[in-house]
Amino acid sequence: MRPVPHGYWSRERVLEAIRQRIQDGKSMSLTDVLDDEPRLYSAAHRCAGGWRRVLHDLGYDYRQFCRERPKWSVERVIRCILRRESSGQPLCATDVHRDDSKLRGAADRYFGSWSAALQASGIDPEAVSRTRTWTPRRIIQRIRELGARGAALNCSSVLDVDSGLVYAANGLFGSWDSAIEASGFDPAVVRRRLPTWTRKTIVRAIQERAAAGKPVSFSKMIPRSAAMAGWRLFGSWDGALKAAGAFHLVAKPPNWSKQAVIDRIREYHRQQQPLNATAVRQHDKALSNAVYRHFGQWNRALIAAGLDPSTIHVHCPKWTAETVLTTIQQLAASGRSLRSKSVQPASLVAAGRRFFGSWPRAIEAAGIDPVGCLRGRSAPTKEFYRGKGARQREETQ
């Protein structure tokens, strides 16, 4: 939806918009109106007493725009379910509710539940449902299937493959080990043991990852047990990297000092990059944080770098009502956008709101149609400038 200026709607504008929509042959169904122009529907309630009343005032009966709802029956529900099945659409209750909530509601109304409607249509509810009904026998059968395929049967591995199986086994057998034992496997054999790390094996693991071109930082080290063991055995992960000769492979953040901050500011000054606090925080947040950590204020850091803060700061112009109107007219004449988020400088929008109450009113006071410019329409004519805009400028002065 295109933005509508604040205070745009009135009863007359609502009536005109609805009349124009009917003349254009657009659908007046409430669903289509809410999809196309939700602000028009809200404005009808806010400014004209409601949607039905607006249509009545225009000489229409709201019922003539209502769509006839299909009459559901047992046969129609079954027919829709079979149509979904033949077209390959999902028959899970959640998917049906998302795709066709009316079908789901009719099924509950006529059959009592979606599962009963599927059974009446000759479809097994469990075969199309995403939720499985677990029994001890089914859990054992599923574990044996995984074991026959050669899959790892330790708890962590099965959680990655079929988490529902693990949760059901814990609920029905009390623990995963009990379910494994009931399936004919030895939990001690199935359970995966973590390797026993030594300083030598940790160094070898780091060197192998470095040789393969993989990251060896603490957060990206795999397996995680190696990273934790390296921290424990070497006192820190940096110590483990130094022992493996891979310390240089991990990029370290700059160690900021007062002199480093000053050197970076002087470097930006030589490159003629903006050095006001807002601009620096946008393109170098680390430098901005270091400045406030070491100097407390941005001006102090600039002074320490030998720069004059008054020449660095971006000063906002001192706006008056006249300069605001003049600048708006210049922007409109150059064909630039007058949307509040696109106007430069941004202080112009703040000044327009301060002097005229809102940005659209400031645009209107400058002799420009706010609806046209904010919606991207063509520029207003000279007659419009001489008319309403001139009178608004005289009243403002």
What is the tens place of the pLDDT at every residue in 230-271? 988 998 888 898 898 888 777 666 678 888 889 988 988 888
Give CA–CA dist 153/188, Å, rounded: 11
Q: Does residue 376 sit within a domain?
A: yes
pLDDT higher than 90, residue 272: no
pLDDT at 388: 47
pLDDT in tens, 355-371: 888 888 888 888 887 76
Q: Does residue 4 sit within a domain?
A: no
Q: Per-residue confidence at 386, pLDDT binned at 50, 70, 90? A: very low
Q: Per-residue confidence at 381, pLDDT binned at 50, 70, 90? A: very low
How much is the average pLDDT of 107-125? Answer: 89
Domain that holds residue 389: 321-396
How much is the average pLDDT of 145-167? Answer: 84
- Higher per-residue confidence, 24 vs 387: 24
349 and 392 fall within a common domain = yes
Q: Does residue 2 sit within a domain?
A: no
pLDDT higher than 60, residue 294: yes
91 and 116 fall within a common domain = yes
Q: Is the pTM of this model over 0.75?
A: no
- Higher per-residue confidence, 29 vs 205: 205
238 and 266 fall within a common domain = no
Q: Both tokens of residue 197?
A: 């790390």
Q: Per-residue confidence at 99, pLDDT binned at 50, 70, 90? A: confident
271 and 225 fall within a common domain = no
Q: What is the 3-state secondary structure (H, E, C) of the chain?
A: CCCCCCCCCCHHHHHHHHHHHHHCCCCCCHHHHHHHCHHHHHHHHHHCCCHHHHHHHCCCCHHHHCCCCCCCCHHHHHHHHHHHHHCCCCCCHHHHHHHCHHHHHHHHHHHCCHHHHHHHCCCCHHHHCCCCCCCHHHHHHHHHHHHHCCCCCCHHHHHHHCHHHHHHHHHHHCCHHHHHHHCCCCHHHHCCCCCCCCHHHHHHHHHHHHHCCCCCCHHHCCCHHHHHHHHHHHCCHHHHHHHHCCHHHCCCCCCCCHHHHHHHHHHHHHCCCCCCHHHHHHHCHHHHHHHHHHCCCHHHHHHHCCCCHHHHCCCCCCCCHHHHHHHHHHHHHCCCCCCCCCCCCHHHHHHHHHHHCCHHHHHHHCCCCHHHHHCCCCCCCHHHHHHHHHHHHHHHC
- Higher per-residue confidence, 135 vs 36: 135
Q: Which of 158-167, 208-217, 250-259 comes out lowest in average pLDDT?
A: 250-259
Q: Phi first, then psi: what are they for 59, rounded to 5°?
A: 90, 20
How many domains is the chain partitioned into structurally?
6
pLDDT at 219: 82
pLDDT at 173: 92
pLDDT higher than 50, residue 377: no
Q: Per-residue confidence at 378, pLDDT binned at 50, 70, 90? A: very low
Last residue of a domain, one of 266, 294, 312: 312
Last residue of a domain, one of 266, 283, 312: 312
275 neighbors 269 (Cβ within 8 angstroms): yes
Q: Both tokens of residue 294?
A: 């070491």
pLDDT at 191: 75
Tokens 């199986």 appear where?
165
Q: Both tokens of residue 98?
A: 């998302």
Q: Does residue 3 sit within a domain?
A: no
Q: Does residue 121 sit within a domain?
A: yes
328 and 390 fall within a common domain = yes
Instruction: Count Cα atoms within 13 angstroms, Cβ side, for 217.
Output: 7
183 and 160 fall within a common domain = yes
Tokens 């047990």 appear where?
225
Last residue of a domain, one of 190, 209, 230: 190
Mean pLDDT of the chain: 81
Give CA–CA dist 27/164, Å, rounded: 48
How much is the average pLDDT of 342-358? Answer: 82
Give, to the nearest 10 degrees, the angle between helix 136-148 and helix 163-173.
Answer: 130
285 and 306 fall within a common domain = yes
Which of 311, 390, 320 is CA-nearest to residue 348?
Answer: 320
pLDDT higher than 60, residue 379: no
308 and 328 fall within a common domain = no
pLDDT at 85: 86
381 and 330 fall within a common domain = yes
Tokens 């934790």 appear where?
228
pLDDT at 383: 44
pLDDT at 178: 92
327 and 392 fall within a common domain = yes
Q: Does residue 218 sit within a domain?
A: yes
- For residue 103, give Cα distances in angstroms to 91, 127, 139, 197, 203: 11, 20, 34, 59, 62
Q: Per-residue confidence at 392, pLDDT binned at 50, 70, 90? A: low
Which of 180, 182, 136 is CA-nearest to residue 155?
Answer: 180
113 and 147 fall within a common domain = no
331 and 301 fall within a common domain = no
Q: Does residue 339 sit within a domain?
A: yes
Q: Does residue 168 sit within a domain?
A: yes
- Higher per-residue confidence, 42 vs 129: 42
